[in-house]
């Protein structure tokens, strides 16, 4: 700590001099050590969303199926038959960069608690991961330990990991991203909110004892850039115990089923301070806590340490006096420690006692509702300029390009990773990882939900607005390929330091793109998370908005698959497709720098195509469906061959893929006139490997394909032992066995 920090201790806690002056003004005095620690956490970027809250207010959050929206521990949507699906995605980036196993494991534990805190049983996990290039020993270390941490926690607690994504890019070398998504299921009448209520009700702490692990995590790790001394921050990383959380989960769900709780909140970032303050704020009440009653794992903990500890596997509940004994009996049966540590009171204060001594007295409104919010100062001129990747591929041979792409880190099979996860536990998984573009889980009614998570930092770095919109379109396309219609969206916005004008510009444009895409598709945002200051000594990460979408399909038995299914089936290109090599995976392998703009697309046509593919899967007209994404058309066809274990013969007709013929897209897809239409590629390599959302490779009986209400071009047939593809003068022929070998090889060496 520098001499200036000794004279002004709030600086070392992440507070500015101006923010400290605001605290003094609100209290009418200087804060003591406990109060200063509480403010430093709730006014941190991680808890207070100081640089993003104003932007997030513009996102669409309402919809006829929304049961719970932003502001609760998780969002929830109506899936019929009296059931609601709860879901949320959150980050644990900085802890995972410092201690990847525990950082990733406790990230899973935290997102599980967010879901069962509203009364839903967790039924699925997904993860979105980013690391530096796998040639780096640090990246391989982070990958290995983060994946192990995710598997350890999810497998131990009995929640399947059913999907996810992982990308490798240089800008994530120092600052990896670990985003975890959880999906839960509950009867709608059992959902509970976090608002404390009932003056005189008990405040009950349940779960693990409190220790010094995680102290300052929200302010020390999650609200500052990492630097060369990040290993010194290991004490700020929490330690998880999935078996303790399993008992806590079952205990909480029984307490809610028996209607013994008034409200429930998990203890995550900022620990008891955040949980108690947020419950009081939402309920517009005061809370008095006595920290001398809290079971401690370590002797001699000071009051401020107890209040800001981020020890895992803890929940805070409000229980009426007449139900307290019954609630304690349930906790005892589940071997969950439960202690009354306070009461709900009148007023607007969070008061902290240590026995008879008052050690903290803070207005709840000042802590939660009056956190300073900052206006960003975006400047595109100062946007980060990311260095071009090394050139790894120079061949013009289409077959060489295809095999190189299939083996590349961002496109290769994730099977070695998913083999560390249990994706079948709970027996709801209808489509396993690799079988379809989205995970599918059966509901008690026989209907199903589908879940997808997506984001592409390189494309967002090139064009934050369009790149973010593409993540929404990609998730919607993934759901359409299994026959599901989107019901709601959650997001995790991973960016660099928002105080820098170029990063502020990335964040501002990305949120605008997210909102526009959600409005265009009619998908409400029901919750999310923001993770800023993701920077290392070499600069910021790629701006990485991660999007998770939940949808429904009426019949789990008709869920779509991506693999070609039947010899002789027709193969068709569905939707308007105008691929470009700009910011593509092939451009990366060729060492090309990022462009400053991505092509637009016709969103009206995209909606029509999504509906047609979704309907074709539901009716059985489509034997397979796969959206064209990273690697372009050739990679999409190869993936269909690999998944189906059968070859294909495809010839693109002259002029295909074709550009849209009507109105084209503006910045994020709104029609803006033919002059903006992306032109068809004249380069056959671009036709084969260029990228652009909105088109699909589908197969089935030719008549059924041509009957789809979308632009359809029949381009080939399923069959044979190899993939044969021709586009103009370019052609390739590769045995399916070679495709499978290339696709399986990329990550295998990282998981011996």
What's the pLDDT tens digit per position in 374-389?
A: 999 999 999 999 999 9
pLDDT at 752: 62
pLDDT score of 413 more than 90: yes
**What does the angle CA 91 – CA 534 – CA 419 come to, to the nearest 5 degrees?**
45
By C-alpha distance, which of 424, 495, 691, 427 is closest to 581? 691
Residue 90, H or E segment:
strand 83-91
Rounded Cα–Cα distance for residues 593 and 587 (Å): 8
**Backbone phi, psi, residue 263, to 5°:** -155, 165
Q: Looking at residues 57-65, what average pLDDT do you find? A: 96
Is 90 exceeded by the pLDDT of residue 695?
Answer: yes
Reply yes or no on whether the pLDDT at 4 is more than 70.
no
Tokens coding 294: 């809290």
Confidence band of 659 (pLDDT split at 50, 70, 90): very low
Cα diameter, the chain: 85
The pLDDT, as a whole number, for residue 140 is: 93
Q: Specify the pLDDT at position 232.
A: 44
Looking at residue 270, its pLDDT comes to 87
DSSP state of 676: G
Res. 427 pLDDT band, cuts 50 70 90? very high
pLDDT at 601 over 60: yes
Kindly report the backbone phi and psi dihedral angles of residue 701, in degrees, each rounded to the nearest multiple of 5, phi listed first: -65, 140
Taking the alpha carbons of 394, 399, 400, 406 in that order, is the dihedral positive or negative? positive
Q: Which of 183, 708, 187, 696 is nearest to 487 (CA)?
A: 183
Summarize the confidence of residues 664-686 as an average pLDDT: 48
Least confident of 95-109, 206-220, 709-723: 206-220
Question: Which CA distances in Å does 451 have to 115, 151, 187, 443, 448?
Answer: 15, 19, 19, 13, 10
Look at 32-36, 43-47, 77-81 and tell me which has the smallest mean pLDDT. Answer: 43-47
Kindly indicate the confidence band of residue 533, based on its pLDDT and cuts at 50, 70 and 90. very high
Residue 682 has a pLDDT of 58
pLDDT band at 746; cut points 50, 70, 90? confident
pLDDT digits (tens, 9 = 90+) for 201-242: 999 999 999 998 777 544 444 445 555 444 444 455 778 899
- For residue 313, pLDDT beyond 70: yes
- pLDDT value at 300 more than 60: yes
pLDDT of residue 223: 47
For residue 237, the model assigns a pLDDT of 78
614 three-class SS? helix
pLDDT value, residue 664: 34
Residues in the chain: 752
Range with lowest mean pLDDT among 237-246, 450-459, 550-559: 237-246
Question: How large is the average pLDDT for residues 404-422?
Answer: 94
CA distances from residue 576 to 467, 524, 579, 644 in whole angstroms, order as listed: 18, 26, 10, 25
Name the pLDDT band for 660 (thresholds 50, 70, 90). Answer: very low
Burial label for 2, CB within 10 Å (0-12, 13-18, 19+), is exposed
Residues paired with residue 483 on neighbouring β-strands, in sequence order: none
Contact 682, 659 (CB under 8 A): no
Confidence bin at 678 (pLDDT 50/70/90): very low
Confidence of residue 574 (pLDDT cuts 50, 70, 90): very high
Residue 680 pLDDT > 70, yes or no? no
d(C-alpha 736, C-alpha 734), whole Å: 6
Band of pLDDT at residue 255, cut at 50, 70 and 90 = very high
Whether pLDDT at 665 is above 70: no
Q: Which percentage of the chain shows pLDDT scores above 70?
A: 92
CA atoms within 13 A on the CB side of 299: 0
pLDDT at residue 750, as a whole number: 75
| This prediction's pTM | 0.93
Find the mean pLDDT for residues 61-87.
96
Higher pLDDT, 153 or 238: 153
Selection from 532, 543, 536 nearest residue 14 by Cα? 532
Q: In 3-state terms, what secondary structure has residue 487?
A: strand
Could you give all domains of the chain from N- to C-terminal order, each with its CATH number? 561-752 (3.90.650.10)
- pLDDT of 685 reads 92
Rounded to the nearest 10 degrees, the angle between the axes of helix 464-480 and helix 603-619 is: 20
Query: Is the predicted pLDDT of residue 303 greater than 70, yes or no?
Result: yes
Q: What is the pLDDT of residue 238?
A: 76
Average pLDDT over every residue of 520-543: 95
Cite the active site residues. Answer: 46, 92
Q: Average pLDDT of the chain?
A: 92
pLDDT at 673: 31
Residue 580: what pLDDT? 95
Query: pLDDT class for 104, splitting at 50, 70, 90?
Result: very high
Residue 657 has pLDDT above 60, yes or no: no
Q: What is the separation, in whole angstroms, between the first and last Cα of the chain?
A: 43
Give me the half-sphere count of Cα atoms (radius 13 Å) on the Cβ side of residue 89.
33
Across the range 127-153, mean pLDDT stands at 95
The answer to whether residue 80 scores a pLDDT higher than 60 is: yes
């Amino acid at each position: 700590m520098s001499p200036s920090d000794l004279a002004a201790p709030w600086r070392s806690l992440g507070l500015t001099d101006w923010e400290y002056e605001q605290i003094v003004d609100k209290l009418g005095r200087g804060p003591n050590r406990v109060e200063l620690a509480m403010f430093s956490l709730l006014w941190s970027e991680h808890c207070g969303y100081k640089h993003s809250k104003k932007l997030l207010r513009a996102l669409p959050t309402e919809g006829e199926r929304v049961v719970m929206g932003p502001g609760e521990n998780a969002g929830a949507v109506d899936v019929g038959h009296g059931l609601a699906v709860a879901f949320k995605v959150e980050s644990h980036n900085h802890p995972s960069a410092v201690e990847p196993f525990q950082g990733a494991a406790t990230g899973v534990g935290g997102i599980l608690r967010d879901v069962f805190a509203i009364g839903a049983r967790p039924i699925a996990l997904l993860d979105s991961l980013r690391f530096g290039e796998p040639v780096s020993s640090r990246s391989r270390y982070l990958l290995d330990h983060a994946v192990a941490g995710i598997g350890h926690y999810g497998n131990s607690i009995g929640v399947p990991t059913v999907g996810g994504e992982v990308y490798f890019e240089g800008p994530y070398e120092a600052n990896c991203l670990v985003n975890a998504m959880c999906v839960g299921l509950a009867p709608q009448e059992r959902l509970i909110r976090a608002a404390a209520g009932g003056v005189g009700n008990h405040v009950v702490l349940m779960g693990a004892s409190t220790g010094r692990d995680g102290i300052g995590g929200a302010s020390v790790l999650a609200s500052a850039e990492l630097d060369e001394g990040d290993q010194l921050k290991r004490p700020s990383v929490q330690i998880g115990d999935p078996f303790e959380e399993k008992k806590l989960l079952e205990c909480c769900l029984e307490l809610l089923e028996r209607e013994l709780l008034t409200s429930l909140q998990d203890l995550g970032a900022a620990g008891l301070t955040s949980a108690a303050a947020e419950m009081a704020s939402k309920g517009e009440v005061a809370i008095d806590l006595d920290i001398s009653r809290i079971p401690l794992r370590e002797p001699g903990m000071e009051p401020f340490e107890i209040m800001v500890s981020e020890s895992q596997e803890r929940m805070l509940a409000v229980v009426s006096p007449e139900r307290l004994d019954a609630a304690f009996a349930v906790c005892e049966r589940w071997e969950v420690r439960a202690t009354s540590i306070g009461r709900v009171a009148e007023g607007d204060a969070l008061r902290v006692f240590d026995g008879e001594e008052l050690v903290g007295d803070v207005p709840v409104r000042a802590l939660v509702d009056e956190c300073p919010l900052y206006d960003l100062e975006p400047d595109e001129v100062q946007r980060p300029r990311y260095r071009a990747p090394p050139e790894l591929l120079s061949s013009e041979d289409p077959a060489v390009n295809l095999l190189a792409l299939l083996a590349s880190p961002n496109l290769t099979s994730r099977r070695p990773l998913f083999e560390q996860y249990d994706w079948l536990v709970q027996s709801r998984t209808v489509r396993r990882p690799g079988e379809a573009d989205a995970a599918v889980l059966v509901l008690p009614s026989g209907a199903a939900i589908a879940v997808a998570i997506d984001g592409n930092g390189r494309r967002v770095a090139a064009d934050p607005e369009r790149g973010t919109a593409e993540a929404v379109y990609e998730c919607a396309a993934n759901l359409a390929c299994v026959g599901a219609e989107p019901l709601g969206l959650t997001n995790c916005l991973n960016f660099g330091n928002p105080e820098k004008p170029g990063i502020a510009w990335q964040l501002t444009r990305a949120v605008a793109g997210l909102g526009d895409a959600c409005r265009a598709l009619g998908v409400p945002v029901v919750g999310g998370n923001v993770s800023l200051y993701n920077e290392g000594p070499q600069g910021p990460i790629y701006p990485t908005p991660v999007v998770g979408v939940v949808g429904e399909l009426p019949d789990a038995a008709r869920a779509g698959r991506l693999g070609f299914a039947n010899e002789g089936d027709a193969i068709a290109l569905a939707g308007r497709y105008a691929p470009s090599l700009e910011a593509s995976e092939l451009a990366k392998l060729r060492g090309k720098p990022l462009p400053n703009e991505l092509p637009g697309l016709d969103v009206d046509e995209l909606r029509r195509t999504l509906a047609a593919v979704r309907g074709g899967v539901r009716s059985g007209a489509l034997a397979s469906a796969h959206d064209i994404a990273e690697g372009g058309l050739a990679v999409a066809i190869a993936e269909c061959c690999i998944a189906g274990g059968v070859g294909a013969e495809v010839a693109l007709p002259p002029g295909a893929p074709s550009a849209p013929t009507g109105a084209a897209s503006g910045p994020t897809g709104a029609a803006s006139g033919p002059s903006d239409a992306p032109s068809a590629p004249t380069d056959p390599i671009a036709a084969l490997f260029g990228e652009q959302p909105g088109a699909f490779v589908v197969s089935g009986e030719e008549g059924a394909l041509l009957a789809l209400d979308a632009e359809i071009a029949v381009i080939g047939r399923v069959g044979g032992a190899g993939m044969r593809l021709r586009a103009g003068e370019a052609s390739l022929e590769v045995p399916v066995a070679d495709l499978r070998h290339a696709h399986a090889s990329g990550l295998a060496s990282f998981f011996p």
